[in-house]
């Protein structure tokens, strides 16, 4: 059987330069009986391969489209899920408020006594009685310790006797002066005798005044034998007991130390950049320092009493002191507690509960719940945060309902169920 050879020309197509390509094809056995046409067999086979490649492409496109739809469904807002029957997220909400808010600086404050007095003996003696207990509260003038008064009282009695003698001598000198004056009138004596008599009177009176001054000094010394509290406050450890010898020259011997408790100083350090703000607040009378009572969680407040006369060069901080009333002894010298400096009050500030503020790469935001129970993400501009809430300058308005608990379950557009309000939860601003 003769072998047929044909030359097929490749038609121009994608990626083809249009030039003819010669290809040799051979007929298969039996093709002659089936009306074998050399060019037609080659075209059918080529079209079959093209349809096969097209089918693979369609399947790939369909797979990509299905994957995108699946991902889009997972990232869809919760409100869309809710419309498909998924449960709404439970949240706790609160309302945005408009009220006056303090412009303040918060830090750690130190409680300092306004006056601390170390009580010492001003005379040399022996302790007779101790009338105050360790740690007792005293008022100015209360008797704390009595010293042995017997020696000083004996000296006082002695000086009193000397003064009595002086008074008698003065009287005698005056009588002598009167007689001399009468004798001079009768020319019975010289005027020198009158002058001598006058001198004796003056000397006797001077001796009397000296002894009276000595008596005053001894009486003062006697008062020092009764040691009283110089200020009102709280006594520390009493270092003497009956029989203890005390000496005025011993400056290391302290009977007790009294710390003034009411009023009390609160010291807080602020950055040096706030110096002008503090000065304005102090001059305007609006500046105050507040400290949190650890027991009652109430703020104790007092006006700014002083600014330190220098900035600490090692820290760059300026110390402020305020005199705070402390009638119940709620705070103690040396105690450390939360404190704040209030410079002024800002009227009509928009306040959001601090728990509602969230942070993302785009900035701060809140979830605002509309009347249909849908949560929307609202970017907000935060001015400052205080213990009473966060002041914002844009993003929300007074009366808006914001989520303060349950944000982790929300996306923009999530449907929510309000389970509690801030008033029920006790998280009011």
Q: CA–CA separation, 115 vs 125, rounded Å?
A: 27
Residues 161 and 309 in one domain: no
Mean residue pLDDT of the chain comes to 82
From 349-353, 379-383, 424-428, the region with the lowest mean pLDDT: 424-428
pLDDT band at 422 (very low <50, low <70, confident <90, very high): low
- CATH number of the domain that 201 lies in? 1.10.287
Pick from 295, 289, 288: nearest CA to 329:
295
Q: Is the pLDDT of residue 16 over 50?
A: no
Q: Higher pLDDT residue, 212 or 189?
A: 212
Q: What is the number of alpha carbons within 13 Å of residue 402 lying toward its C-beta?
A: 31
Q: Are 270 and 282 in contact (CB under 8 A)?
A: no
Residues 273 and 419 in one domain: yes
Residue 157 lies in a domain: yes
Residue 39 lies in a domain: yes
From 7-16, 139-148, 185-194, 389-398, the region with the lowest mean pLDDT: 7-16
pLDDT band at 377 (very low <50, low <70, confident <90, very high): very high
Q: Higher pLDDT residue, 75 or 231?
A: 231
Q: Higher pLDDT residue, 170 or 48?
A: 170
- CATH number of the domain that 375 lies in? 2.40.30.170
Q: Name the pairing type of β-strands 89-95 and 414-421.
A: parallel
Digit-coded pLDDT (tens) for 106-135 = 999 999 999 999 999 999 999 999 999 999
Give pLDDT, residue 45. Answer: 56
Residue 418 tokens read as: 């309000």
At which of 174, 202, 224 does a domain end? 224
Residues 207 and 264 in one domain: no
Residue 233 lies in a domain: no
Residues 199 and 288 in one domain: no
**Which helix H or strand E contains 46, and what residues bound it?**
helix 38-74
Q: Higher pLDDT residue, 247 or 420?
A: 247
Residues 269 and 220 in one domain: no
Q: CA–CA separation, 352 vs 388, rounded Å?
A: 9
Residues 219 and 312 in one domain: no
Q: Is the pLDDT of residue 23 over 70?
A: no
Residue 194 lies in a domain: yes
pLDDT band at 285 (very low <50, low <70, confident <90, very high): confident
Greatest mean pLDDT range, 129-143, 281-295, 402-416: 129-143
Residue 1 lies in a domain: no
Rounded to an integer, the average pLDDT of 367-392 is: 90
Give pLDDT, residue 50. Answer: 67
Contacts of residue 12, defined as CB under 8 A and 6 or more positions apart, other chains included, come to: 18, 19
Residues 66 and 205 in one domain: no
Residue 328 lies in a domain: yes
Rounded to an integer, the average pLDDT of 263-277 is: 92
Q: Are 281 and 292 in contact (CB under 8 A)?
A: no
Residues 56 and 199 in one domain: no
Give pLDDT, residue 191. Answer: 80
Give pLDDT, residue 5. Answer: 43
Contacts of residue 53, defined as CB under 8 A and 6 or more positions apart, other chains included, come to: none
Residues 188 and 300 in one domain: no
Give pLDDT, residue 72. Answer: 46
Q: Is the pLDDT of residue 168 over 60?
A: yes
Residues 155 and 51 in one domain: no
At which of 50, 70, 90 does a domain end? 70
Residues 392 and 293 in one domain: yes
Residues 275 and 377 in one domain: yes
Residue 30 lies in a domain: yes
Digit-coded pLDDT (tens) for 37-89 = 455 444 555 566 666 677 777 777 777 766 665 554 444 444 444 434 457 89
Q: Higher pLDDT residue, 159 or 3?
A: 159
Secondary structure of 261-315 in HEC code, one letter for each residue:
CCCEEEEEEEEHHHHHHHHHHHHHCCCEEEEECCCCCCEEEEEEEEECCCCCCCC
Give pLDDT, residue 86. Answer: 53
Cα dihedral across residues 382, 384, 389, 391: positive or negative: negative
Digit-coded pLDDT (tens) for 291-342 = 998 888 888 999 999 999 999 999 999 999 999 999 888 899 999 999 999 9
Give pLDDT, residue 77. Answer: 43
Give pLDDT, residue 172. Answer: 92
Greatest mean pLDDT range, 285-289, 313-317, 423-427: 313-317
pLDDT band at 184 (very low <50, low <70, confident <90, very high): confident
Residue 163 tokens read as: 């003064």
Q: CA–CA separation, 176 vs 183, rounded Å?
A: 11
pLDDT band at 95 (very low <50, low <70, confident <90, very high): very high
How many structural domains is the chain composed of? 3
Residue 170 lies in a domain: yes
**Total H helices, total E strands in the chain:** 6, 24
Share of the chain above pLDDT 90, in %: 55
CA 265-277-331 angle, 5° bins: 20
Q: Which domain holds residue 26?
A: 6-70
């Amino acid at each position: 059987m003769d072998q047929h050879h044909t030359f097929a020309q490749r038609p121009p197509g994608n990626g083809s330069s249009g030039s003819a390509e010669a290809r040799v094809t051979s007929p298969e056995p039996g093709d002659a009986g089936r009306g074998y046409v050399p060019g037609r067999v080659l075209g059918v086979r080529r079209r079959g391969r093209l349809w096969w490649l097209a089918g693979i492409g369609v399947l790939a496109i369909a797979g990509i489209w299905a994957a995108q739809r699946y991902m889009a469904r997972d990232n869809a807002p919760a409100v869309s899920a809710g419309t498909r029957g998924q449960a709404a997220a439970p949240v706790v909400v609160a309302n945005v408020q408009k009220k006056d808010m303090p412009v303040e600086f918060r830090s750690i404050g130190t409680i300092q006594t306004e006056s601390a007095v170390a009580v010492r003996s001003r005379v040399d003696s022996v302790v007779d009685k101790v009338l105050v207990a360790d740690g007792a509260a005293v008022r100015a003038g209360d008797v704390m310790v009595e010293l042995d008064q017997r020696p000083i009282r004996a000296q006082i009695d002695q000086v009193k006797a000397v003064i009595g003698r002086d008074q008698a001598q003065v009287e005698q000198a005056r009588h002598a002066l009167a007689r001399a004056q009468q004798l001079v009138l009768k020319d019975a004596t010289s005027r020198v005798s009158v002058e001598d008599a006058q001198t004796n009177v003056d000397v006797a009176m001077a001796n009397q005044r000296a002894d009276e001054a000595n008596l005053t000094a001894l009486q003062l010394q006697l008062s020092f034998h009764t040691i009283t509290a110089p200020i009102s406050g709280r006594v520390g450890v009493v270092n003497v007991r009956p029989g203890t010898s005390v000496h005025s020259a011993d400056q290391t011997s302290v009977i007790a130390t009294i710390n003034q408790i009411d009023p009390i100083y609160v010291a807080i350090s602020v950055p040096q950049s706030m110096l002008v703000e503090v000065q304005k607040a102090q001059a305007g009378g609006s500046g105050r320092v507040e400290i949190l009572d650890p027991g009652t969680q109430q703020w104790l407040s007092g006006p700014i009493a002083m600014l330190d006369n220098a900035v600490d060069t090692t820290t760059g901080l300026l110390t402020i002191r305020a005199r705070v009333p402390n009638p119940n002894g709620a705070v103690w010298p040396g105690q450390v507690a939360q404190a704040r400096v209030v410079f002024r009050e800002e009227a009509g500030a928009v306040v959001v509960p601090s728990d509602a503020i969230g942070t993302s790469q785009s900035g701060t935001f809140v979830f605002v719940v509309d009347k249909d129970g849908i949560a929307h993400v609202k970017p907000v501009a935060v001015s400052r945060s205080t213990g009473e809430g966060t002041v914002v300058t844009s993003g929300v308005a007074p009366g808006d309902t914001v989520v303060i608990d349950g944000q982790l379950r929300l996306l923009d557009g999530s449907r929510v169920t309000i389970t509690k309000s801030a008033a029920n939860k006790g998280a009011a601003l």
